[in-house]
Structure 1
Amino acid sequence: MFLPLHDTNPLRHLQVPYVTYGLMAFTTLVYLIQAMLPQSSFDLLAVEFGMIPIVVRDVYPQPLPWLPDWAGLFTYAFLHANWMHLLSNMLFLWVFGDNIEDAMGHVRFLVFYLACAALAGLAHLAFNPNDISPLIGASGAVAGVMGAYVLLYPHARVFVLARIVIPIPLPIPAFWMLGFWIATQLFFLVIGSNEPVAWWAHLGGFLAGMVLAATLKRRAVPLWGGR
């Protein structure tokens, strides 16, 4: 898998992508709090604030009575299983989030990010309606950012760390880099991977991001840009 390092896509409407940085900071802070807890409390937090399909469907009562059943569709995106899980999601958000915030504006980007998280969670729920395990992680929301990027800036160059003989940075058009990513998700979904990865959430978030980006972008931002 290619790891994105940075892109060559300058901001055109904003000076600072405050929402992207804020989401990264808040998500990291939540994980630092998680990491300081004993394992039993760590697991309990995932149950209480993760997205559990049978809880969202109101088949089983919400672990926290004061929290609505649907709240897990948003809160799960700010929890992570370990630091590698966190860093991989934040890396992708760092590389691609600023341009999508630039294309939408601060408020619409925040709405977009949360909507992608919820729709990714619903995609996972649709194919795992009786699952009792909590879904956690920003992957679905970040996949939405990636879907928006491939729609708005497919020609932008993304420097990725590729291991051929030794790891080297290579400039690749976003369309090919993100296309490879989505093809990987489909491949593992088809072969029935045993990895504890929410493939449907990734796909659902990616598609949601493409659809929402077309409606939430600024009028001045064209589709299929980034040249």
Structure 2
Amino acid sequence: MVIPIHDINPLRRRPIVTWLLIAVNVAVFVLFEPIVTSVAGADTATPTSVCEQERFFDRWGAVPTEILDNQPAPQAPSGRSAGVNPQGQVLCEVESPPSFDKSPVLSVLTAMFLHGSWLHLLGNMLFLGVFGNNVEDRMGRFLYLIFYLACGYVATYGFALFESDSTTTLIGASGAVAGVLGAYLVVFPRARVIGLVTFLFFLPFWLPAWIVLGFWFLLQYIYFIGMGVAKGSSVAYGAHVVGFVFGALAVLPFVRALRAAGPARYQPPDQRWVRRMPWP
């Protein structure tokens, strides 16, 4: 796998929407979510915190059976622990009916800003930060925000169609971010990206975007169809695949306009003398 850390793709203005999306995701995770892992990934969970997190995700996350029927489930975790089974799994008390109201359609939106761990959050925000700024630059801020949210909705509902009987809660920005990656690949396939190649001891390499993002998509697809080692994991690879394909197809008819679009090039006030760079 290649972990992207930077791209050579000049911006024409500050990516304010991308920055705000990252800030909101981090703020929600730090300020509102019950966290059961440390930044280093160590398990800091107690039975009570696990049940509190399960209740929080059930209330604000997207559940395939709920969003397809547009009906909330008749029961939900109460947030209180009922003990631990012989396998070491935490058992949570259930309340029926739930003591909170839930809109399945709106849960798709709120689920985009929830993450299960620091690793989940930082991985999504890294990809959004590296690739989202250029997509925003060419689309414009308002259209980019609508596009981002649309990718998240399509990815979530697409996954729900593949897993129509699933009651597993979907959370994370992965589907929306995957749509941004698909758009970037179509608009900037030859942009240079520096990435850390994991199977080469994290050595950095300059690679074209079509290799970095093409390999990422291929890996998601392999896991999705069950050929990879991640089969049976809790990662919604189907949402990644649907979001990526939707993002790529959505911008394909407008690729020439997007490559040529953009406001005046941005330069910091104290660096206006810097030579203008050619644009991709």
Q: Do Structure 1 and Structure 2 share a fold, with TM-score over 0.5?
A: yes
Q: Which residue of 2 aligns with 1:152?
A: 187
Which residue in 1 is equivalent to 2:65? 54
Change (3 A) 1:133 1:210: same
| Partner amino acid, structure 1, of 2:61 | G
Q: Is the 8 A contact 1:161 1:170 kept in 2?
A: yes
Structure with greater helix percent: 1
SS of corresponding position for 1:191: coil
User: CA–CA distance in 2 between the matches of 1:70 and 1:181?
Assistant: 29
Counterpart of 2:63, as a letter, is I
Whether 2:211 is the aligned partner of 1:213: answer: no
Rg larger in 1 or in 2?
2
Query: Distance in 1 between the 2:204 and 2:113 partners?
Result: 30
Going from structure 1 to structure 2, the CA distance change for 1:66 and 1:92 (only over 3 Å counts) comes to same
- Is contact 2:72–2:102 with CA below 8 Å preserved after alignment? no
Partner of 1:134: 169
Structure 1 residues 126 and 164: CA distance shift in structure 2, 3 A: closer
Contact 1:104–1:218 (8 Å) recurs in 2? no
Instruction: For residue 25 of structure 1, report the CA deviation from its aligned partner.
Output: 0.3
Map 1:156-167 to 2 at 5 A: 156-163=191-198, 165-167=200-202
In the TM superposition, residue 211 of structure 1 has moved relative to its aligned partner by 2.1
Deviations 1:19-73 (A, max 9, x none): 0000000001111121458332221111011110111123752557654321122
- Contact 1:104 1:216 survives alignment (8 Å): no
Query: How far apart are the structure 1 equivalents of 2:233 and 2:127?
Result: 20
Residue of 216, 235, 239 corresponding to 1:181: 216
Q: Which runs of 5+ in 2 are unaligned?
A: 37-48, 74-97, 262-278
Alignment length (residue pairs): 223
* Partner of residue 196, structure 1: 234
- Structure 1 segment 22-101 matched on structure 2, within 5 A: 22-32=20-30, 33-35=32-34, 38-58=49-69, 60-61=71-72, 66-101=101-136
TM-score computed with the length of structure 2 as normaliser: 0.74
CA distance in 1, matches of 2:242, 2:165: 18
Change (3 A) 1:22 1:218: farther
Q: Return 5+ residue gaps in structure 1 as ranges.
A: none
* Aligned mates of 1:158, 1:142 — CA distance in 2: 17
RMSD: 2.2
Letter in 1 for 2:27: L
